[in-house]
C-alpha cells in the first residue's frame, strides 16, 4: 500500500476491524517512512458488475467514480463525508440487488438523483444539470420549477 503522504510503499497495519455487517474491512495503517497514519477499506467483491453507458460502451462498475460524482454535486454543502458514503452504500445496495451483471448508467443516474433530491436540493440541481446536460437556461428553469412545485 502506497502512503498517501510520502508515497513510500511499506507500512504496518495498526488496527483491523470489520464494518457494514462484515462486508468491509477497515484497516488503520502507519507508514514506515514518515510514520503518518491513514485508513484503507477493503470491499468484498461479489460479482463483476458492468455499466452500460449511453454511447454503447460497457465498463466495470467503479464505486470511487460514483462517490466522486456525488461529492462534486455536494461540494461546499453542509453534508458530512460519512453521509455521502452511506448514500453510495444505499445506491450500491439497490444496484447489486438487481438481477443480472449489467446495469445502465441511466439507472444509476436516476438513483443518484432520487437520493440527492431527498438529501439536499442544491446538490440535486447541481447533479441534474450535469447528468441531464441542460442545453439552455430554460431547461434548467423547468427543472427548478418542478422541484419548487413539489
Out of 84-93, 102-111, 132-141, pick the least confident.
Answer: 132-141
- pTM metric for this prediction: 0.64
Query: In this structure, how many other beta carbons lie within 10 angstroms of the beta carbon of residue 23?
Result: 13
pLDDT at 15: 95
> What average pLDDT does range 60-74 have in this prediction?
95
pLDDT at 23: 78
> What average pLDDT does range 48-64 have in this prediction?
92
Measured over all CA atoms, what is the biggest interatomic distance in the chain, rounded to whole angstroms? Answer: 57
Distances (CA, A) of 53 to 57, 59, 106, 114, 138: 5, 8, 8, 19, 26
Report percent pLDDT > 70 for the chain.
95
Q: Does residue 150 register a pLDDT over 90?
A: no
Amino acid at each position: 500500500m502506497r502512503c498517501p503522504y510520502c508515497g513510500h510503499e511499506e507500512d504496518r497495519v495498526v488496527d483491523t476491524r470489520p464494518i457494514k455487517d462484515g462486508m468491509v474491512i477497515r484497516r488503520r495503517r502507519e507508514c514506515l517512512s514518515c510514520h503518518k497514519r491513514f485508513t484503507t477499506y477493503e470491499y468484498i467483491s461479489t460479482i463483476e458488475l458492468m455499466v452500460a453507458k449511453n454511447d454503447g460502451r460497457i465498463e466495470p462498475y467503479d464505486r470511487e467514480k460514483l462517490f466522486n460524482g456525488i461529492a462534486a454535486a455536494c461540494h461546499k454543502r453542509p453534508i458530512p463525508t460519512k453521509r455521502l458514503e452511506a448514500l453510495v452504500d444505499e445506491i450500491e445496495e439497490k444496484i447489486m440487488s438487481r438481477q443480472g451483471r449489467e446495469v445502465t448508467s441511466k439507472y444509476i443516474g436516476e438513483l443518484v438523483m432520487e437520493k440527492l433530491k431527498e438529501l439536499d436540493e442544491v446538490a440535486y440541481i447541481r447533479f441534474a444539470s450535469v447528468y441531464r446536460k441542460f442545453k439552455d437556461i430554460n431547461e434548467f428553469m423547468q427543472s427548478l420549477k418542478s422541484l419548487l412545485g413539489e
